[in-house]
Amino acid sequence: MSSDSSPLVPLSQQVSNSEVAASVALARKGSDDHEWKRIYCGNCGRPHDIPVYCGNRFCEVCAKGRRLRTRDRLRWILRQVKPVEPYRINFLTLTVGNMKSASAQCKKLLHSFRKLRQRAEWKKHVRGGAFVLEVKKGTLGWHVHIHAVIESRFWKWEKILRLWTKCSGGTGCDIRQIPQGKAVWYITKYISKASVSDGDLMNVLESLKGLRLFNPFGTWYNLNKTYPKKTFVCPDCGQSSWMWEGAWNKMCEWYGAPPQIE
């Protein structure tokens, strides 16, 4: 049965390759209570189980595929960038003072970072980069960080701090050069990391609602839009057409099921 032999199956019931690629690497270990859906290769009928997103961006089952996708995307961007002197890859961490509201601090931090990127001095030193948010809670309240990998020229810490204080009122600033090969790990480890107790998790999820986990900027923003999304192929037959279980069962009623996979 070829992948083109099921024209009666509505396209809306077929699974996109990006959904499959985001899910197939997820391990079932320790996830028995998570909801899963089964899909089938439209060519040979091989079944695959993919997780149903549960709404918790820190869920290890849901986040694993997203983290792997982001790592692959960032690796690709860094291969295209290939910074040459005087530019290098640096790791930048920014924060402001603790606040009682996690949502308010996230908004303040993002607004301040946007102001920073609009300054002439920033544009003089930084070509592009990508950032993520990390939310923590301490005894004095919520403490949100921006972690960014940037392609930049040498820039004295004191000058960055002075500019950051003007934009945010905060005094939390750290910058260090990192090996390009480790840049992916430095930033993506925070994508699925929740540095709060279970009791505060819902507050964090609400504060981050609608915010992207991975945020490229500068020259990296347009570069990110050209990232070639990967197509997951069936390990048995090499085809890349996937169908939801309901559509697969209906097709089998119409055309007959293919031989069972051993």
Collect all residues with Cβ–Cβ distance below 8 Å to 4 and sequence separation of at least 6.
none
Segment 87-111 shows an average pLDDT of: 89
The CATH class for the domain spanning 85-225 reads alpha beta
DSSP character for 134? E
Residues 187-211 have pLDDT tens digits of 877 765 666 666 677 777 777 777 7
Segment 219-231 shows an average pLDDT of: 89
- Tell me what pLDDT residue 125 has: 96
> Is 70 exceeded by the pLDDT of residue 262?
no
pTM of this structure: 0.73
| 95: three-class secondary structure by DSSP | strand
Cα–Cα distance for residue pair 126/82, rounded to 1 Å: 14
Q: Would you list the domain boundaries of the chain? A: 85-225
- Tell me what pLDDT residue 152 has: 95
* Element holding 104 (H helix, E strand): helix 102-118
Segment 222-233 shows an average pLDDT of: 86
